[in-house]
Amino acid sequence: MKRLAYLRNWGVVLFLTISGLALASCGQQSGEKAAAKGQVVARVGNEVVTIQELDNEFRLAGVAPEKQKDPEVLKRVLGDVVVRKYLMQQAMTAKLDREPGVLLDLLRVREQVLGNALLTRAANAKAPSKADIDRYIAKNPWKFADRRLFNVDEIIIPLSPAAQAFVNANKDAKSLDEVQQQLTASGIPHARQLGALSSSDLSEELVSLIRKRRDEDIFFTRVGSNGRFFKVRAEEARPIQGDAAANLARQIMRADVLAAELGLATYSAKLEAKYEGDYADLMKQGDAKSQ
């Protein structure tokens, strides 16, 4: 049995090695074709940097088109690509691309890139029309015409399972000082600071509660991967209108579509997945707890 498991593991490694070599070969052929067409902007040993790669770096870095010709920006971005190409060549020379751990990392990155590409294609296929955007803006005034900016005293915590249990147990906390003391006693990482929250990033229900608040009221919300306990110190009107409102609405609607597509994929993956051995019981327990 041990020998069989050993052979299986090395079968995976062999498959990944072949896949990695195939990808490297494709990359080299693409570089040669680009060089033949005069699209090369730099060479690092046997590797080339093409104008398409440079444009892609600008896209990933969120560099605006008008900034892409800025000499300092161009030098920084192109310099980073050159260093990456150099390090990759050194790693290949050291045969690090054949190490099982590295190959598994490469496979993981490939899965992530392809998965994100699929979600992005689905979101692009459902891009909202101008009429859709106008309706969205009209239905969500607290995000646009009635947008408010809240200056807050806040405590930020990463939302780990332990932190989520703490949140559930402290929803009725009377002050931020009390929350901070409990977090410290529980050993949960946190940071207290002065900050700002936009009503555009909050639910209509929470915004309504904040507008009706008493001076001592404490609120909680999720923002990204963090949780925030906060007390509002002041607020001011910050409406968004015109093109700015349309652009914000488009971003929010796209994020909602991506979240919906990911939710559908998660559900479908659970239906299709077949777990084995102890993992089958473990995942069944996880499903039961989430219901």
Q: Looking at the domain assignment, is residue 195 inside a domain?
A: yes
Lowest mean pLDDT segment, chosen from 21-30, 42-51, 85-94, 160-169: 21-30
Q: What is the pLDDT of residue 21?
A: 47
Q: What is the pLDDT of residue 164?
A: 83
DSSP 75-89: HHHHHHHHHHHHHHH
* Residues 24 and 110 both lie in one domain: yes
Q: Looking at the domain assignment, is residue 21 inside a domain?
A: yes
Domain-ending residue, one of 191, 222, 237: 237
Distances (CA, A) of 102 to 20, 82, 96, 97, 216: 10, 21, 7, 6, 53
How many domains does the chain fold into? 2
Q: Looking at the domain assignment, is residue 260 inside a domain?
A: no
Domain-ending residue, one of 74, 90, 125: 125
* Residues 155 and 65 both lie in one domain: no
Q: Looking at the domain assignment, is residue 136 inside a domain?
A: no
Q: Which two tokens stand for residue 219?
A: 């609120």
* Digit-coded pLDDT (tens) for 80-116: 999 999 999 999 999 999 999 999 999 999 999 999 9
| Identity at 113, one-letter amino acid code | V
Indicate the pLDDT class of residue 26, thresholds 50, 70 and 90: low
Q: Domain containing 106: what range? A: 2-125
Q: Looking at the domain assignment, is residue 198 inside a domain?
A: yes
Looking at residue 127, the DSSP 8-state letter turns out to be P
* Residues 229 and 116 both lie in one domain: no
* Digit-coded pLDDT (tens) for 144-179: 999 999 999 999 999 888 888 888 888 788 899 999
Q: Is the separation of the CB atoms in 95 and 71 below 8 Å?
A: no
Q: Looking at the domain assignment, is residue 75 inside a domain?
A: yes
Q: Which two tokens stand for residue 287?
A: 């499903």
Indicate the pLDDT class of residue 225, thresholds 50, 70 and 90: confident
* Residues 112 and 167 both lie in one domain: no
Q: Looking at the domain assignment, is residue 281 inside a domain?
A: no
Q: Which residue in the block uniquely carries the two structure tokens 């067409």?
A: 37
* Residues 154 and 111 both lie in one domain: no
Q: Is the separation of the CB atoms in 258 and 123 below 8 Å?
A: yes
> pTM for the full model?
0.72
| Identity at 253, one-letter amino acid code | M
Q: Reply yes or no on whether the pLDDT at 10 is more than 70.
A: no
